[in-house]
């Protein structure tokens, strides 16, 4: 096994290992449990190391180089954005009108927010409000 990537971020190590596995390379994150136990000493442990079998090192390095150069980036960030059914605009956000009531219900009665309320969205272009389907992309929870 050879080290192909090194990081102090466990999520990055798992993403790199997952990318390599998706491309057919047997990749492992070594010592993740030990390093995670005492992250203040992560540097002393050598961080999170992504390891691959020696014969696959060169193929893995080429894949990581392509990843660093952005070849795995999504083509357009708005491609799968939620579209308004009325005006087809993408300036859609969670409906803010019921947020106050949701907070009051949770605070006073300790019951979860009705899940249909969480799916309510608002188009800021045409002011249309609707419930998105369960599979729809969640609009970002902050106003842009
Ligand atoms: Zn609209």
Count CB-CB contacts under 10 A for residue 61.
Answer: 14
The number of beta carbons lying within 10 Å of the beta carbon of residue 127 is 10
**What is the average pLDDT across 25-44?**
89
pLDDT > 70: what percent of the chain? 82
Q: Cα(90) to centroid of ligand 1, in Å?
A: 8
| 92 alpha carbon – ligand 1 mean position (Å) | 8
Question: 57 CA distance to ligand 1 centroid (A)?
Answer: 50
* Lowest mean per-residue pLDDT among 12-16, 43-47, 105-109: 105-109
Helix, strand or coil, per DSSP, at residue 122: strand
CA of 94 to the centre of ligand 1 (A): 13
| Cα 124 to averaged position of ligand 1 atoms, centre (Å) | 7
Residue 128 has pLDDT above 70, yes or no: yes
Reported in sequence order, the residue ranges of the chain that DSSP labels E, i.e. its strands, are 2-7, 27-30, 48-52, 92-94, 120-123, 129-131
Crossing angle for the helix pair 57-68 and 10-22, nearest 10 degrees?
A: 120
CA-CA-CA-CA torsion sign (98, 102, 104, 109): positive
For the residues 12-21, what does the mean pLDDT come to? 95
pLDDT reported for residue 24: 95
How far is 138 from 14, CA to CA, in rounded Å? 24
Q: What residue segments make up the domains of the chain, in order of their start? A: 2-68, 77-144
Q: How close is the Cα of 77 to the center of ligand 1, in Å?
A: 19
Mean pLDDT of 34-40: 86
Give the pLDDT band (50/70/90) at residue 5: very high
Q: What pLDDT is attached to residue 25?
A: 96
| Ligand 1 geometric centre to CA of 110 (Å) | 34
3-state secondary structure of 7: strand
Residue 144 burial (CB < 10 Å; 0-12/13-18/19+)? exposed
pTM surpassing 0.85? no
In angstroms, what is the span from residue 86 Cα to ligand 1's centroid?
A: 5
**What is the SS3 assignment for 127?**
coil
Write out pLDDT tens, residues 51-103. 999 999 999 999 999 998 888 887 766 556 788 889 988 888 888 777 777 77
CATH number of 2-68: 3.30.70.1530
Q: What is the model's pLDDT at position 63?
A: 95
Ligand 1 centre distance from Cα of residue 71 (Å): 33
- Tell which residue, 54, 57, 48, has the closest CA to residue 13: 48
């Amino acid at each position: 096994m050879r080290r192909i990537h090194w990081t102090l971020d466990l999520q990055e190590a798992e993403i790199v290992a997952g990318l390599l596995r998706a491309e057919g390379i047997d990749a492992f994150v070594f010592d993740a449990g030990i390093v995670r136990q005492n992250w203040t000493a992560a540097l002393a442990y050598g961080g999170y190391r992504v390891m691959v079998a020696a014969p696959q090192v060169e193929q893995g390095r080429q894949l990581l180089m392509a990843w660093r150069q952005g070849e795995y980036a999504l083509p357009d960030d708005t491609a799968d954005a939620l579209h308004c059914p009325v005006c087809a605009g993408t300036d859609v956000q969670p409906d803010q009108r019921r947020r106050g009531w949701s907070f009051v219900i949770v605070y006073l009665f300790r019951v979860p927010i009705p899940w249909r309320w969480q799916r309510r969205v608002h188009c800021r272009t045409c002011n249309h409000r609707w419930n998105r389907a369960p599979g729809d992309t969640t609009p970002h929870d902050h106003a842009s």
